Amino acid sequence: MKTKKIQNLDGFTGTILIPVFETNAKSIVPIEFHGTTVSSKVFYGKKDTHYLVEKYDCTHVFIGLGKEMDYKSLKTIFRRIAAKQKDIFTTSVALVVPQEFDSNQVEATLSGLVLGTYNLGHYKKSEEHPFLNADFELQFISKNDVEDAIAKGIKIAKAQLETFNLVDLPPNKVNPKYLANWASETGKQYGFDVTVFGKEKSHAVGLHSFLSVGKGSANEPQFIIMDYNPGNTKKHIGLVGKGITFDTGGLNIKTAGMVQMKCDMAGAAAVLGTMQLVADLQLPYRVTAIVPACENSVDAHSFMPSDVIQSYAGHSIEIIDTDAEGRLVLADG
């Protein structure tokens, strides 16, 4: 999403987003903006409401903020507008940033608008959200310096969208190799180092707990190590994300809910998205992140209840239930 600051709406045609603070239904003072008046009898800024007025070749979208404007609420409000009202958007959209908004509130607003472009039906035919059009440019009006907050909000949303994609895509696409490739490509784009251990390297290093979980899968386990090091850092932070791209439960096979087990790598997705954002924001911290990625499948090579396996830490582990695979890969991570 490209953005541009404008001074006023002279000559503007398109959609205007106008956040409105809540008053009350009996207020005698109407809401006014850009020569457009809205009576409190039909709209007074109540949270999760909006009102449309067509005037001056513009669609004025008055957006109710409610009485309390915490970060999460603002993000949800604008995400909902972008997602559920996308038919009112064109390639020309202007956002009016209230003077009362601080940088966090501006950030939440932009983040919500970008998140509203998410399409859960990845393989269904649908029209692309107008915000994703290559020619789209969000124009904004503000008396304050909000450019940094706007840029930050967009970067946060982009990282979250990548996380959503990783979690929601099917397991025949998002397998351990897919996560390893995603990490390598994203590292090159945003500026963090990535090292990936395959089966042989993992065995040589001593990641036996991790390898035991992936023994029953045709897809080779991938132990992903990411490191963002800007130099002269304040502290060093470590992250570990569970990367089970599909969990059958192993020989202790699941008897219910297996259709959701493509999401057993959501911890890994959160860590991967975090690494993108940390590097994109150029935070003054060194962050090292580990994603042990494998599938917990069933075949003749699967690890078994009562097996005793080794771990990177040098401890032995007795397997009681193969559906407790998460703690095994995280232990080596």
Annotated catalytic sites, by residue? 254, 327
d(CA 32, CA 70): 24
Q: Which residues contact 31 (CB under 8 A, 6 or more apart)?
A: 20, 23, 37, 38, 40, 43, 44, 45, 62
Amino acid at the residue 118:
Y
CA dihedral 184, 188, 192, 194 (to 10 degrees): 30
d(CA 164, CA 166): 6
Q: Which helix (H) or strand (E) holds 287?
A: strand 286-296
Radius of gyration of the chain (CA): 24
Contact 179, 222 (CB under 8 A): yes
